[in-house]
Structure 1
Amino acid sequence: MPDYILNKPGRLTAEEFNQMKLHTVVGAQILSRVEFPFPIVPVVRHHHERWDGHGYPDGLRGEEIPLTARILSVVDCFDAVREDRPYRRGMTREQAVNYVLEESGKTYDPQVVATFLAHLPEFEAEIEVMRGAPAPTFGIEATERLSGAALAVAPAAGLAEDAPHAPEAAHASGERPLYDLAAALAACQTEEEKCAAFVGHLGQVVPADTCALVRVNEETGESRVALAAGRNASLLEGRAVRQDSGVTGWVLSNRKPLFNSDPKLDLPEDAAAHFTDYRALAVAPVAADRVLFGAIALYSAALSEYDARHQRLLCEAADIFARSLAAGRTEPPTDATAPQPKPARFAVTTLESNLTH
């Protein structure tokens, strides 16, 4: 299955969905080479068949579908709809139960649905007991250790550097630019100035070829790229960002960062054509005190991925920016020409606290 389909935040096209359907056939073909003592292959091939006959890959109906596949389809659905996805939020338990009930007799075997829901509290209790427990090894244990020569072998592309731990190394790898960012934000008096300072200094904190700052309009709820910098910035600045599509939309909707999806999945088709050489994407929400101000998206052609250090620094920078915006809104009215030291102390003190705890 191509990565761009697996990682696509929005809806699949008809062609992409048809390609995705092949995972049932290909998976069954792969497993057919293994002589399992149980009928595993039919389960894999038919777990997307529907009770009403409108499923795939073979359009089986009712009890033509193997019972094990009918069971797996219900369990798979219930688990999947409870999880967050890049293109939607996960359902609550009640919503998931109602959804399965609505599909009973259409997508799912009614008897399987009834049995599953009747025993759901037991299943959930078992899952809670297993939560945090070591994964079972099924009796398969490592019987020997890697030799020194084997441990010395590195991948052809090289290894990612470990995140620095020493204070000096940490200071040199991004914390000094964070201090500079906090100081620059503290010197600003308007949100527009803060946005410009944030985008202007962010490149010193985390590398990117293109940067897009999305702001949420608190009155309308609409999101738009307020400021962009770097390559192709003019293609992004001013564009609307829907919270139900794209990587940035998912981040806005879920208020969680998302890293290393295909950058082209975050862009409209007319803009994506100009980003064909981009390989890495990092998006973090800009939120503080339960207020969502927007999101910051970094696109890179030079990097193959944003590593753990990049991710941490971006989230810290976004947090500093968000807290600066929040502090500015809680400041009492002052003479526009007078200095405002409180936001400066707030931003720098917050950064020092983050770095020392």
Structure 2
Amino acid sequence: MVFAGLFFVLNTGLIAVAIAFEQRVRALPIWREHFLGLWLTYFGGGAVAALLVVLVQERHPDVLALVLLAPIPFIIYATFRNAVGRMEDRVGHLNQVNGMYLCTIETLAQAIDAKDQVTHGHIRRVQQNAVKLAHALGIDNDSQLRALEAASLLHDVGKLAVPDHILNKPSTLTPTEFENMKRHANIGADILASIGFPYPVVPIVRHHHEAWDGSGYPAGLAAEEIPVGARILSVVDCFDALTSDRPYRTRLGREEAIRVLQDRSGTMYDPRVVAKFLNMLETLPTAVELPSTLPSHVLSDITGTAQGDMRRSVTNSGDPETFATLFELGVQAATAPNVGEALSRIHAILRNLMPADVCAIYLNNLETDTLVATFVSGVHAEAIAGTTIPVGQRLSGWVAANRQTIVNSDAALDLGNLTMQLDPTPVRCLSTAIGAEPLLGVLTIYSTRRQPFTDAHVHMVEAIASGLGSLLQTRPCETPFKEASVPKVEPEFAERVH
């Protein structure tokens, strides 16, 4: 029995050590989880062998005894192989499910990064480098490593709640925009908390923007209060972001990015994590694009298809009749004493050409980052005037943020609950931006009829919006209503890292 125990320890122990060496984890947890339960098989085989020896010694060499006892070791071996085979099948199935699970997470993460116009290789590099840095720091706890792997992919899931125009703004964020951006850490953690990860992913996601000196967000944690996974992720994510192109700046050189990390060591980042990261930097891959499982054009294709199906082209926008109409609209606008009168004259012509029951000019308020319905003509003009829509939200806000026209969308998605109070009810709208840089506002036309807007209508309204842009820059804009008071924000700027 002693030899059976020795054989059990040596055989299973060496296998556990080999597996641990390959996976860079401790051998004892692997041995306990996968091999400790096999002790009964080894000791059972030892007991049978001892019984065989005793019987042979008692009865002397007896062929009948050997024949009767010979099948027992083979039965034990077959039972052992069957148990091991079942265990291998279970492990293989778990590995397959785990692989599918990780691919699903990565695809979701790539979809999120596509919204942020981040290269798809970014999340993979961050994941790989974060795990390597964790090993270099001596972290070998399997739960922490798996949490870091998942959090590296999903740490920005909360950006789903941040408007696109803030995520991809090509200039520095205003204080209001930065406060909106900071919400993504808590939102992302709350989203992932409902999944029930078997390892601590949520704390890493919630606190990956905390600072070593306590000046970060959302909880203002400092030093060792910050989860070590979040400290690792923040350093790796920052360096990869600095060395990658972003909508608001071009990439930095490696040496310049290193200086940024060194300057922030001890204030924003854990000094020990920064030092270890810089020591192993030469072994890490550079910012090279990796294959993506989700092409970045997918979302734009879906959007284009959805809008294209709703349009019905019935006439050529370049025919003489259209040019004559645009000329008349230009004359009416140019001779109007102010923008409000110009819109009224334009609407009087448009409602005979398309289902334009209400025309609204939403002016862009740069201080509050909102659109305000300043000039409205047609039915429901009094009810719609003064409506405020944050840039990036609803339909007109989306048009303002993306500088793209939308057509035949549900008017309720733009006017909200106000739609239910209006009779006849607006059912669809056409909205286009007025001005590009800077954005002056949005022209939105609401229809209470079943008749859809056509491609010809879109071209005409876009031409009108271009003319209104020139008019807004040269004519006084009397406001026919009193805007709600909004606290004025000081013109400070929030620094963007990633």
Distance in 1 separating the partners of 2:444 and 2:460:
13
What aligned pairs does 1:134-283 form with structure 2 within 5 A after superposition? Answer: 160-164=312-316, 170-172=319-321, 174-217=322-365, 222-274=370-422, 277-283=425-431
Post-superposition Cα deviations, 1:277-304, rounded to whole Å, max 9, x if no partner, equal: 543211111226x343321111123245
Per-residue deviation at 1:220? 6.5
The question of 1:299 aligning with 2:394 is answered: no
Q: Distance in 2 between matches of 1:123 and 1:78?
A: 14
Aligned to 1:260, the other structure's residue is in SS state strand
Higher helix content, 1 or 2: 2
CA distance in 1, matches of 2:114, 2:368: 34
- Residues 39-188 of structure 1 aligned to structure 2 (within 5 Å): 66-82=101-117, 88-89=164-165, 91-92=167-168, 106=201, 121-123=288-290, 160-164=312-316, 170-172=319-321, 174-188=322-336
1:146-192 deviation digits (Å, cap 9, x = unpaired): xxxxxxxxxxx9x9344427x6xx222x3322111111122124344
For residue 212 of structure 1, give the secondary structure of its aligned residue in structure 2.
strand
Deviation at 1:119, TM superposition (A): 7.8
Contact 1:211 1:299 in 2 (8 A): yes
Change (3 A) 1:177 1:207: farther
2-structure distance, mates of 1:191, 1:278: 24
* In 2: Cα distance, 1:70 partner to 1:229 partner: 49
For the 8 Å contact 1:206–1:313, the answer to whether it is kept is no
Shift of 1:71: 2.6
8 A Cα contact 2:355 2:448, kept in partner: no
The share of aligned pairs that are identical, in percent, is: 16
Please, which runs of 5 or more residues in structure 2 have no aligned partner?
1-95, 119-158, 174-180, 193-199, 206-228, 241-284, 302-308, 477-498
SS of equivalent residue, structure 1 residue 267? helix
1:355 corresponds to? none
Structure 1 moving runs of 4+ over 6 Å: 83-86, 93-96, 102-105, 107-110, 124-128
Q: Distance in 1 between matches of 2:395 and 2:384?
A: 14
Q: Which runs of 5+ in 1 are unaligned?
A: 1-42, 47-62, 136-156, 330-357
CA deviation map 1:315-357 (0-9, x unaligned): 011112212333558xxxxxxxxxxxxxxxxxxxxxxxxxxxx
Are 2:463 and 1:316 aligned? yes
Amino acid at match of 2:327: Y
Q: CA deviation at 1:227?
A: 2.6
Q: Are residues 307 and 278 of structure 1, via their aligned partners in 2, closer, same or farther at CA, if it must alter by over 3 Å? A: same
- Per-residue CA deviation, residues 31-50 of structure 1 (Å, 9 max, x unaligned), is xxxxxxxxxxxx9xx9xxxx
Q: How far is 1:276 from its partner?
A: 8.0
Does the CA contact (< 8 Å) of 1:226 and 1:238 recur in 2? yes
Asked whether the 8 Å contact 1:279–1:305 carries over to 2, the reply is no
Q: How many Å separate the matches in 2 of 1:216 and 1:257?
A: 16
1:120/1:88 Cα in 2 relative to 1: closer, same or farther (>3 Å)? same
Q: Assess if the C-alpha contact under 8 Å between 2:339 and 2:471 holds in 1.
A: no
Preserved CA contact (<8 Å) 2:107 2:293: no
Partner Cα separation in structure 1 for residue 111 and residue 434 of structure 2: 34
Which whole-Å CA distance do the structure 1 matches of 2:423 and 2:163 have between them? 21
Query: Which protein, 1 or 2, shows the higher relative CO under an 8 Å CA cutoff with sep ≥ 6?
Result: 1
Secondary structure at 2:459 match in 1: helix
CA displacement at 1:231 relative to structure 2: 2.8
- Change over 3 Å in CA distance of 1:87–1:308 after alignment to 2: farther
State how far apart, in whole Å, the 1-side matches of 2:451 and 2:166 are: 29
Distance 1:228 1:328, change over 3 A: closer
Over the residues paired in the alignment, what is the CA RMSD in angstroms?
A: 4.9
The CA distance in 2 between the partners of 1:88 and 1:304, in whole Å, is 31
Describe the SS at the equivalent of 2:312. Answer: coil
How many angstroms apart in 2 are the aligned matches of 1:92 and 1:121? 21
Partners of 2:366 and 2:450 in 1: CA distance? 34
- Give deviations 1:108-135, integer Å, cap 9, x for gaps: 998xx989x768622379999x99xxx9
**Contact 1:185–1:198 at 8 Å: present in 2 too?**
yes
Question: Residues 318 and 81 of structure 1: is their aligned pair in 2 closer, same or farther, counting only changes over 3 Å?
Answer: same
Conserved 8 A contact 1:206-1:314: no
Q: TM-score, normalised by structure 1?
A: 0.51
Distance 1:123 1:304 in 2: 47
Distance 1:192 1:238, change over 3 A: same
Letter in 2 for 1:234: E
Counterpart CA distance in 2 for 1:240 and 1:249 is 10
For normalisation by structure 2, the TM-score amounts to 0.38
